[in-house]
Amino acid sequence: MDKIVIWGGERLQGEVQISGAKNAALPILVSSLLTEGWNTFRNVPDLRDIKTIKKLLNHMGARCKTQAPGTIQINSENVRCCEAPYELVKTMRASILVLGPLVARLGQARVSLPGGCAIGARPVNLHINALERMGAEITLTEGYLEAKSKRLKGAKIYFDIATVTGTENIMMAACLADGETILENAAKEPEIVNLAQVLNGMGAKVSGAGTDVIRIEGVDKMHAVEAEIIPDRIEAGTFIIAAGITAGDVIVRGCVPGHLDALIKKLTDTGMEITPVEGGLRAIGRSDIRSVDIMTLPYPGFPTDLQAQIMAYLTIANGSSLISETVFENRFMHVSELQRMGADIKVQGGNAVVKGVSGLRGAPVMATDLRASASLILAGLAARGKTDLSRVYHIDRGYEQIEKKLSGLGARISRVRE
């Protein structure tokens, strides 16, 4: 198994190119299930989760081929199998995204119910309730959700929580339903807007994506499309924080500044200088970091997927910061590993008080989930001495060649066989 070794203390400098967004690419590749013909998707990141979703689509009978690095073609014309097996779903919860499109396209689906994960219980009751309101009959048999419907019907759906994949799942299902569907308290993430653009390119009638009310007028048939995946705002945010924690000067190319407003506001409050440049952002860090309070919220609030990374940064700030995690109930798994590096953090329920220390020390640490592993790499970049990060398979789920990109900015980081 691999591990990542970091020698800290280097100021990051230079340019880094951001990859396509994992959380846009996953639902967009799945949306090919709604169409006939060859779809072409560009700017698809080369990640373990993308490999998993391609395996799942292949398993159902879709044909996937890589036309060029970052470009994938998918033809779902011959999809007849409507099952998402436990072996695949257990490795990636986002597999639940096939549920809506399969019921809509084939009239049935058999999808392994995703279990909990390191960051929370993560139920999918809102996905199920919404499909039932559209007329699907859903039962749970031997750990599998079995859904049936001759043809889904348009319905008015209010989400108790602005769920991201819930919004995406139902938005896709509603494209082939009979009549209009209205999603209220829908999630507003940029990845949802990207998916809606692709669906409309396939002949769907989706309006209001990016607001909390989305309307979908069902159509009988959808066709293949050529589409682009948006840049990964979470990867971009991670590199901006890397500039901050190393007092560096980094140009983050290919990101969309408007997708990062909440982060930029908070980092500017800590004293960073973040300015738009052509095709991206320039991020300049300072060694005297001011403490700030953070509360994670659905978009456009502060993203929970950057909570661990900004916590690592605030461990070396002047003063104390309060971090409130309101989206997931168990997303502080990185705290004990940061404490091993000398951080001073106290957790109480969904709140963590981070008391800034003068510096971190390198140590052997273990990744517990995707974003926690990113925060430990950032801490390693700032720490004195050597940090060994194990269980790096977590980071490969969501970051394309992170150690290569960081060493391109001057970091002393490498991947070694354990």
Catalytic residues: 117
Among 8, 45, 101, 166, binds ligand EPZ (CB under 6 A): 166
Best CA proximity match to 149, nearest among 199, 182, 102, 181: 102
Is 325 an interacting residue with respect to ligand EPZ (CB under 6 A)?
Answer: no
Nearer to ligand EPZ, 124 or 147 (CB): 124
Among 19, 23, 52, 270, binds ligand EPZ (CB under 6 A): 23
Is 171 an interacting residue with respect to ligand EPZ (CB under 6 A)?
Answer: no
Among 127, 259, 266, 405, binds ligand EPZ (CB under 6 A): 127
User: Which residues 342-401 are close enough to bind ligand EPZ by CB under 6 A?
Assistant: 370-371, 398
Nearer to ligand EPZ, 299 or 313 (CB): 299
If DSSP codes are grouped into helix, strand and coil, which group holds residue 280? strand
Q: In sequence order, which residues have a C-beta less than 8 Å from that of residue 188 and are 6 or more positions away? A: 162, 210, 211, 212, 298, 299, 300
Is 164 an interacting residue with respect to ligand EPZ (CB under 6 A)?
Answer: yes
Token couple for 69: 């690095």
Site string for ligand EPZ, 246-285 (x = CB under 6 A): ----------------------------------------
- The tally of CA atoms less than 13 A away on the side-chain side of residue 365 is 34
Rounded distance, CA 157 to CA 180, Å?
A: 11
Best CA proximity match to 172, nearest among 76, 50, 304, 81: 76
Is 307 an interacting residue with respect to ligand EPZ (CB under 6 A)?
Answer: no
CB of 233 to ligand EPZ, least distance (A): 11
Among 124, 192, 199, 409, binds ligand EPZ (CB under 6 A): 124
Among 58, 66, 125, 268, binds ligand EPZ (CB under 6 A): 125
Beta carbons of 233 and 222 less than 8 angstroms apart: no
Is 305 an interacting residue with respect to ligand EPZ (CB under 6 A)?
Answer: yes
Nearer to ligand EPZ, 305 or 396 (CB): 305
Nearer to ligand EPZ, 99 or 289 (CB): 99
Q: Tell me the window of 57-65, 119-127, 286-294, 388-396 that interacts with ligand EPZ (CB under 6 A).
A: 119-127
Rounded distance, CA 159 to CA 41, Å?
A: 29
Nearer to ligand EPZ, 84 or 316 (CB): 84
User: Which residues 74-113 are close enough to bind ligand EPZ by CB under 6 A?
Assistant: 94
Is 133 an interacting residue with respect to ligand EPZ (CB under 6 A)?
Answer: no
If DSSP codes are grouped into helix, strand and coil, which group holds residue 148? strand
Rounded distance, CA 113 to CA 140, Å?
A: 8
Is 26 an interacting residue with respect to ligand EPZ (CB under 6 A)?
Answer: yes
Beta strands in 80-221 (DSSP E): 83-84, 108-112, 137-141, 144-148, 156-158, 180-184, 205-207, 213-217
Is 163 an interacting residue with respect to ligand EPZ (CB under 6 A)?
Answer: yes
Token couple for 190: 């940029």
Rounded distance, CA 121 to CA 73, Å?
A: 34
Beta carbons of 304 and 295 less than 8 angstroms apart: no
User: Which residues 174-233 are close enough to bind ligand EPZ by CB under 6 A?
Assistant: 187
Rounded distance, CA 267 to CA 273, Å?
A: 8
Interface with ligand EPZ (CB under 6 A):
22-23, 26, 94, 120, 122-127, 161, 163-166, 187, 304-305, 327-328, 370-371, 398
